[in-house]
């Protein structure tokens, strides 16, 4: 009973504080003195119309996009580099590596791959792909590939996980399954996820923000009470989804 799950976190998760982000794409202001916080150990969802800057915000937090003058770090202002894992919309599996070696990619890149096989196997088992460890990614379905990507993300054992529309490329049923899986294995981490899908935000978010306008502003939306992850067929969740769709519609129409 005392052995921790392979996906268990080895260090306490930090909160994330982003402030003074000012960015423009050409002459269009995307962010102006934008501030944002994500609670430690919670799932924070970011919804919004396409082109509003959701992915840019996530890239800024990840340190992948420069944001001169911005302050990005944990509650104490310490940088997040080395403490975050990235999961993109595309699974980004390397076609020449086996599923197992794809899971161990980070360790291989840092030259720390020795002795990581057992943990990678355990994580593959946790995402239900124990049997496929030796296969090449080409032999997997889209949903299975994204589960491998999830295992790779967990393998990094980082307290912060940033996900950019992680499940938008799979069919709706697979997506629901992946959301449940992600909630189970990522619970306890500080997760920021960007999504187009109001239902996904409502199911996975402990808090959900809608990003809107140019420059963008974040508005928190109220969430239904109840157990997390929220079931997709809960009437309150469905009602909230309808409300979000109505709220997003004018913004989409204005584009």
Residues 118-137 binding another protein (CB under 8 A) are: 136
Q: By CB under 8 A, tell whether 193 contacts another protein.
A: no
Report in angstroms how near the CB of residue 28 gets to another protein at its nearest.
22
Report in angstroms how near the CB of residue 196 gets to another protein at its nearest.
18
Report in angstroms how near the CB of residue 88 gets to another protein at its nearest.
6
Report in angstroms how near the CB of residue 167 gets to another protein at its nearest.
16
Residue 91 structure tokens: 């699974």
DSSP code string of 183-241: HHHHTTSEEEEEES-HHHHHHH-SEEEEEETTTTEEEEE----SSSSPPTT-HHHHHHH
Select the span of 27-35, 58-66, 67-75, 239-247 touching another protein (CB under 8 A).
Answer: 58-66
Residue 175 structure tokens: 């997506």
Give the chain's end-to-end CA distance (angstroms, integer).
54
Q: Using the structure block, give the residue that is written with the tokens 């030259």.
A: 111
CB 62 within 8 A of CB 84: yes
Question: Collapsing DSSP states into helix, strand and coil, what is residue 174?
Answer: helix
Residues 154-183 binding another protein (CB under 8 A) are: 156, 162
Residues 63-82 binding another protein (CB under 8 A) are: 63-64, 81-82
The count of other CB atoms within 10 Å of the CB of residue 204 is 26
Closer CB to another protein, residue 92 or residue 183? 92
Footprint on this chain of another protein (rule: CB under 8 A):
59, 62-64, 81-82, 84-86, 88, 90, 92, 94-96, 105-106, 108-111, 136, 138, 156, 162
């Amino acid at each position: 009973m005392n052995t921790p799950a392979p996906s268990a976190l080895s260090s306490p998760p930090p909160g994330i504080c982003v402030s003074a982000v000012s960015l423009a794409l050409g002459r269009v202001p995307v962010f102006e003195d934008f501030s944002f916080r994500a609670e430690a150990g919670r799932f924070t969802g970011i919804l919004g119309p396409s082109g509003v800057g959701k992915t840019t915000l996530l890239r800024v937090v990840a340190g992948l996009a420069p944001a001169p003058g911005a302050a990005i770090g944990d509650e104490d202002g310490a940088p997040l580099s080395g403490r975050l894992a990235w999961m993109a919309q595309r699974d980004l599996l390397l076609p020449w590596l086996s599923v197992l070696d794809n899971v161990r990619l980070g360790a291989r890149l840092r030259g720390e791959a020795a002795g990581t096989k057992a943990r990678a196997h355990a994580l593959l088992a946790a995402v239900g792909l124990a049997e496929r460890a030796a296969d090449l990614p080409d032999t997997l379905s889209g949903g299975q590939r994204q589960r491998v990507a999830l295992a790779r993300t967990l393998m990094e054992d980082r307290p912060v996980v940033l996900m950019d529309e992680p499940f938008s490329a799979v069919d709706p049923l697979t997506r629901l399954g992946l959301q449940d899986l992600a909630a189970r294995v990522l619970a306890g981490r500080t997760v920021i996820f960007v999504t187009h899908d109001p239902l996904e935000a409502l199911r996975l978010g402990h808090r959900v923000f809608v990003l809107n306008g140019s420059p963008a502003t974040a508005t928190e939306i109220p969430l239904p009470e109840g157990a997390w992850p929220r079931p997709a067929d809960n009437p309150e969740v469905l009602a909230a989804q309808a409300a979000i769709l109505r709220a997003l519609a004018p913004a989409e129409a204005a584009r």
